[in-house]
Structure 1
Amino acid sequence: MDRVQLRAVKRARRKAVRVQDCEALAACAISLLERSIACGHRRLAVLRLHDAAEKGAALTTQHVAYCEQVAKSADEPELKALVRRSRQLLKVRTASTGAR
């Protein structure tokens, strides 16, 4: 994703917030998370993982595994707490929908 595409995603996110479009917010959160991972923005990826989890985005095991690895290697309790909270949000959502 280049800068132009990044700006478009951020604009779409702002619009989704204004009109309260949960699906669009989740899609934007995933796009921003994937960009952070691709660019090696480790701390930002953890923040965006948590944002995506809060928005109900369909996170993959790769998203979570990457951020868990970042949190393990970082000496920041806040990052570990964010990943732990993101996992809890995912478990609650999975349990409530009956998905496995």
Structure 2
Amino acid sequence: MCLNDEQLSAIADVIRTAPTLSDAAARWRERYPDVRIIRLSAADMRDEIPALQFGGRQVYFAMSGGMCVSVTRQADEADMLIFTEGGAGDGDR
């Protein structure tokens, strides 16, 4: 699975318009329940470069293989998303 153009537009929409990161994740899950999303603290991702950034919110593309998760800059490799904002996050959702 990889992220398609429709999903990339949706990512930008939900991350920019949702009042909270929690709301953004919920909106994403409603629209694309097959694409896993994780919310983490920005500090947890401090050594990674976000694929997208809107204000204080960042989106990372990731690939999962069993128990391993790898960050990628390529949407066509990604099968999951990581959302961060500032220093707040609440783990896996």
TM-score, normalisation: structure 2: 0.32
Query: Higher Cα Rg: structure 1 or 2?
Result: 1
Q: Which has the higher strand share?
A: 2
The structure whose RCO (Cα within 8 Å, separation 6+) is larger is 2
Greater helix proportion: 1
